[in-house]
Structure 1
Amino acid sequence: MQNATRVFLFFSFGYFVSYLYRGINIGFAPFLTSEIGLSAGDLGMLTSLYFLGFALAQIPAGAALDTWGPRRVNAAFMLVAAVGAVVFGLSESLTSLMVGRLLIGIGVSVCLGAAFQAMAFTFPTHRLPMVNGGVVAIGGLGGAVVGTPLALLLGVISWQVASYLVAFITVVVAGLLYFGSRDVGPGRASGRTRPGLGSQFLGTWELAKTPLFWQIVLFPSTASGVFYGVQSLWMKPYLLDVKNLPLSTVDGLVSMLGFAAVIGSIVSGVAARRIEKMGISLYHLVGVFTGCFMLVQLMILLDAPVPRIFLWASYGFLGGTNILIYAVLVETFPRHMLGRVGTTFNMLVFFLIFLFQNIIGWVVELWEPITTGVYPAVAHMTAWYLLLGLQALTAVWFFASKAPRPLEDPYARQA
């Protein structure tokens, strides 16, 4: 197997594991509620700790990626996730569950950034939208697995055993990454000597002070935070409490949304360059897709006279197109910054997922539960409208700005 193929497959497997961890609590939630007595707020906090750990690790992870390369860093971090999964499975209290979930978030924090960095140094730039779309598509299958397949599995084994099983899979993938592919690191690819870790942190700070970076990422990161926050936890309670759907139907819709996100990643990646040839920039294409994502959210909330499966498939498809923002970042920022650019964006997205999952939980708990774990429809809808309004605010800067031009390596002094 050629190295490029191994790089693509093994890093994609890593992101699959990351995505599996991201949404696994959607299947565990009923058991955690009944066995450990978690409330809606507890469940939101517990699930979102994955995203908090992910966000907190992004700056050091980005510096590590640009210093030691994606293969070593990704494999080492994934072992931390495996430990977290074992701790989670052994837990009998909320506190120990939180520790395990936080370790998992830290452990998989580099899976996407490492994958995109590895793709950028392995494949030509014009192929990155399609290749990155493929990575996200394979990873996104984890979002489909946490629907009906996970529900069926939890009918046979306990959630604790499922945690140990995912830990084992994580160790296997870490081994494939470390032993199965060769490095294509920043220093080797760019002809530079690898910079020190301190200078990498300085470069991250310089990036965070760049208005252009925030212009590009603020709107899509807010929409991504909403999408992944809903997909990985709050979609199921919304469909159960607001729409009063049978559990089997809800599990099917969760899996379908995961597959739709995979298709969105693939289709948008393949179509991106063709659309650019029509004179439409990737920047504005991201804006169009994200704007349509907001429209679908509004249609869901207004209970538009459209088949339910079409609405949620559109929600998943458009949520999957946010992968294109990485291609915009690759085109705009210097290559020696790609690890930090990707992980800084990821930090923002996953901090927002952490925040939004908790906001939904806090808002929902403002209403008295109808029964244990079941809340009034107005509680969920109020939280969703709040987040939709926030997305609308961030859209203003994005659409009022011109498409960015590639930078002339302004951070060379820090690298």
Structure 2
Amino acid sequence: MSEEHINVKVRTLTPIWTGGIEGSCDRLHETSIIGSMRWWYEAICSGFGYACDPSSIGRCELSGKEKDMKERMAKLCPSCALFGCGGFSRQFNLQINDAPTTPLHFRTSIPINKNWLKQTFGGENKNIDSLNIFYGDIILKIIAKKENAKFLRSQLLMLLCFLSKYGAFGAKIQHGFGQFLLLDPELALSNEIIRDGLKQLSHRIDEGQFFQKQDIPSSQYNLKNFIYMEYDLETSSLAVFMKKGNHLGAESKIDEVRYLPCSFDLRYKAFKGGKSFGMRSWLEDTKNWDHDSVNKLMGVSKKKGEPQNDEDRSSSSINFSMPYRVNEGSYRLRIFGFAPPDALTADDLTNLAKEYMHYAFGKICNPKFVISGKEILESLGGANND
């Protein structure tokens, strides 16, 4: 079958983590990028009705007896139709060559946080000084199957634009990794590309071209539960993270100011000017949330030496990017995530994040841009966004 080649130039705003041997970031793993793209696409598709859980018993699977592509599509959810499943291969390949690297480092205002970061990223020897991550200009080479090429292209470009504008790719986005900018002039009008791709997806779903399961269980990771916010913070408000004593990692990065890897402090616990902040500590100590409610929003990780089932672990529902410099006087911070529907609405989560930012950075700290997944869906007009 013939193929279509799509080359997309990416500039990282914060480094990319893709994992490797024993969790190290040994090379830029295409499978990690594809896996994160699939996860986001499932959330987007869920906003229109349904995307299966590829790890569940009821996941999409083909028998091989289907006579043509139309019959195959009718048995697949939109995500499996793009990313593949049992009996059906992924409709594109991704290649990344010669990705530039930079030494791994962090900034934290609390000494105990350094121990946690060393253990999490440095493994048993707790050494991160010699680790590298990916940072710089990267070419994504996408090879899409020619059959259904127009739709494939619309979905892949929509997804990359969506992640560049509202999300991230790769692993450990809860630590601020994976923010990127698309450099191709063709993708400069990202809003139009996102809108066109979502409309094409919605149209095909409405026409019944994909399988749609009835009695769908509620999923948190649904575009209707999504929120996104941008803040521009003055350099002075982040000065605590620029102190040399608060640097962790390779000495060569001690003067790095293009991005500030302090997301762990922003989400967990930080200390500035005699005041403790960090969203988890704020929820516990200032908002007086109970332990279970905090875990539902901020996630639960496995503690060393404690038995814990995988189902007891969860990732954070709200993510803070690493602040990255937009000019000499300010940094941009992105906040995004999915509201747990049994605890908060998307509006509730947006208001909670605003309240936290006021607490952490002062009452004059207000978002420069806010949007919800519902608003993105509503912008499509005739799309199914009930």
- Where on the TM-score scale, by shorter chain, does this alignment land: which range? under 0.3
Higher strand fraction (1 or 2):
2
Higher helix fraction (1 or 2):
1
Higher relative contact order (CA 8 A, sep 6+): 1
